[in-house]
Structure 1
């Protein structure tokens, strides 16, 4: 992968952060208007992209976008469609976990509502495509300071170089340093939970079925990967998560088996264990003059609904559409009048999803029998209402509400 150590150059858009969200924005901008000069600044070298052991659930709308951007064909052979999803609610000691809710896995005939995608495949494919479209990669490097000067924003780089742009986009994660430098405050609190992420190999095939088991400490999600493998997102209280991640393999596998069950046969760890603290963090503003937030830099939510990354892809599709359209009519890409269109499009939807995941986590991460009875009645009721289930599938697929063109599979 070609890297650029470009410095002292001028760009239309500089993206700080070369993860899925930053790379997809670079792709969307160059695909929408090849004349837009785009640079991605990231502290990790491009070779590190292929070393990410995790997998991501990519919703149908995001698949349509990635297909429109010309990368899905390279990613698809290594993905696993989610053909079905079941939801249970139980205590850890329960020997039987009744299924309260089931979802068919298709948005339209032959179109699964999500695919499980290895990051080690997705990230290099996006990087290679972006480089081929003329995106400059300034790596390994990072933006340390920035200042607005008239119609440009001047960026200082950690390596000592400098670049200017019409717009700086921060895609540098939930603890975004650039968001803080921009003076954007957040609404945030800690859940006292951590998400354990790992991969397991199992004896029997999963047949593309995803499972979400609501347990007192939080949801335990089993997400199918290609072959007899599954990705786990296991929520525990932070102290317990830390203990489990640091325990020996035998202890960890015993605790894993208690939650996973025996329906897929013998289990074997197929990757390292990692734990991430969980909380809610929503930026009060998504934009400032010549500055915009996307992805986790704008919103960090609980993984209970599996929508964190897909919210970031919605940001990308909306911001790219706003910027490309502004460029076509000769508007300033970093002007607040242009950026405010993006903020109006995305902020309410993001806050709504943040509230939903917060309520769901508080409702399901407890062991109180009266609350369990109410929520189980609610799950069973939804399971008997096809129209409501269709709405949930549409939400999970990323196709609810005002949808940017890229998420419909259309060119900007």
Structure 2
């Protein structure tokens, strides 16, 4: 019998698996995809999560591979509005920008170094059965049905978690009136390692540096995207910000709408919901992946104690309470970020921006905003 089966080999599932393997437990990580994704997807690693990755021994390669974003700058209609340094944590005075494909590769390599058999790809989990003394995980691999038996199971299968759907079928998502399109282009802006927000009357444009001379652009749309191309996205960015993007240099275009879903309970007998499976929040602000890593870091020592026979009921209840509180806080911050980016008539935009800039001149306010953006 295995100690733990983890469903999902994304960043959160891999990190959770690594932490448990490092503690000497028998773990299998089941992943529906046959190969790792090569798309950049989530890119921001915040200081608290980076500290946990460091404790697990996987931060150094990510820090060396990524861009260190040390400040954010806001513009509006060609004028600089405000600046916010991310220097509140002296040990990590930056947000690290790394494509998710790189992050997953680093984590997978670390997992395989501990146990080359830990990750099983091409395995689609169909059912998780809690038998009170163990958990049976039924999965398809091609035409074959496989069964894995473990003492505990973790659902790290993302925002569309089938395991969460089975446990909490009536947990409906909350929708928001926000849609976005994003893409990665060669960076000829001259903004270097700065994150840039363009607070425009038509809606926000966000811009983040990536390794290799690439920059991520995120544009708020007035309605769900209807198939915008790289050229169309470049034109949108140009019309709002004046920045000229080379459409031929584009390496990714993706549109998304926003919803959130917060489970009241993460612990369901011997099955635990983790990361986006437990709390889906808006990608605006880039906190979801980090939230999942912090879930895993808090859970790993409790699971370790449980697997060794300790009574961890009180610790699990405290874990659930604290991690839900963190998810609520992150969801509210994401909501504020989206509100900041919604369209405003030019005269209201000007007034709002002046108030925003004046507030950031106050050290107490700037410190609070910095802590919220960096998840400290």
For normalisation by structure 1, the TM-score amounts to: 0.82
The match for 1:242 is 226
In 1: Cα distance, 2:179 partner to 2:266 partner: 26
How does 1:241-320 map onto structure 2 within 5 Å? 241-245=225-229, 249-262=230-243, 267-268=246-247, 269-320=249-300
Q: Is the 8 A contact 1:113 1:393 kept in 2?
A: no
Offset from partner CA, 1:88-109 (integer Å, 9 cap, x none): 4x5xxxx43441x311132344
- Compared with structure 1, are the counterparts of its residues 299 and 136 closer, same or farther at alpha carbon in structure 2 (3 Å cutoff)? same
Aligned with 1:118 (options 99, 107, 112) = 99
CA distance in 2, matches of 1:217, 1:181: 41
SS of equivalent to 2:310 = coil
Q: Is 1:48 matched with 2:36?
A: yes
Pairing 1:141–2:123 present: yes
Which residue of 2 is the match for residue 127 of structure 1? 108
Whole-angstrom CA distance in 1 between matches of 2:326 and 2:371: 14
Task: Write the deviation string for residues 165-206 of structure 1: whole angstroms up to 9, x where unpaired.
Answer: 222111111111110111364352222433322111133543
Mapping 1:11-30, distance limit 5 Å:
11-30=2-21
Instruction: Provide the rounded CA distance (Å) in 1 between the counterparts of 2:163 and 2:297.
Output: 21
Question: Counterparts of 1:192 and 1:391 in 2: how far apart (Å)?
Answer: 27
User: Is structure 2 residue 147 aligned with structure 1 residue 156?
Assistant: no
Distance 2:192 2:56 in 1: 29
Q: Describe the SS at the equivalent of 1:211.
A: strand
Residue from 168, 183, 189 that aligns with 1:183: 168
For structure 2, the residue ranges without an aligned partner over 5 or more in a row are: none
Q: Residues 272 and 344 from structure 1, CA distance in 2 versus in 1: closer, same or farther, beyond 3 angstroms?
A: same
- Whether the aligned pair in 2 keeps the contact of 1:83 and 1:207 (CA below 8 Å) is no
Aligned pairs for 1:396-407 (under 5 A) are 396-399=373-376
Deviation of 1:216 after TM superposition, in Å, equals 5.0
- Asked if the contact 1:222–1:233 (Cα under 8 Å) also holds between the matched residues in 2, the reply is yes
| Equivalent position SS for 1:66 | helix
Following superposition, the deviation at residue 218 of structure 1 comes to 4.5
- Tell which deviates more after alignment, 344-353 or 227-236: 227-236
In structure 1, how many angstroms separate the alpha carbons of the residues matched to 2:66 and 2:212? Answer: 10
Asked if 1:81 corresponds to 2:29, the answer is no
**Whole-angstrom distance in 1 between the partners of 2:290 and 2:147:** 32
CA contact (8 A) 2:173 2:261 kept: yes
Mark the CA change 1:251 to 1:235 in structure 2 (over 3 Å): closer, same or farther: closer
CA contact (8 A) 1:257 1:267 kept: no
Q: CA RMSD in A?
A: 2.5
Deviations 1:285-334 (A, max 9, x none): 22211111111111222233221221112211111132234445x226xx
Distance change in 2, residues 1:360/1:206 (3 Å): closer
Contact 2:41–2:99 (8 Å) recurs in 1: yes
Say which of 183, 188, 203 aligns to 2:188: 203
Distance 1:183 1:261 in 2: 46
Indicate the larger mover: 137-146 or 266-275.
266-275
Match for 1:388 among 365, 372, 376?
365
User: How far is the alpha carbon of 1:346 from its aligned partner?
Assistant: 0.4
* Number of residue pairs aligned between Structure 1 and Structure 2: 371
CA apart distance, 1:21: 0.7
- Residue 228 (str. 1) matches residue 213 (str. 2): yes
Q: Which residue number in structure 2 is paired with residue 39 of structure 1? A: 28
Q: Distance in 1 between matches of 2:58 and 2:45?
A: 13
Name whichever of 128-137 and 214-223 sits farther off: 214-223
Secondary structure at 1:242's aligned position in 2? coil
Aligned counterparts of 1:355 and 1:216: Cα–Cα separation in 2:
23
User: Which one of 308, 313, 329 corresponds to residue 352 of structure 1?
Assistant: 329
The correspondence for 1:62, drawn from 40, 49, 70, is: 49
User: Is the Cα contact below 8 Å between 2:178 and 2:221 reproduced in 1?
Assistant: yes
State whether residues 16 and 142 of structure 1, in contact with CA within 8 Å, keep that contact through their aligned partners in structure 2: no
- Kindly tell me: are residues 360 and 72 of structure 1, through their superposed partners in 2, closer, same or farther at Cα, counting changes over 3 Å? closer
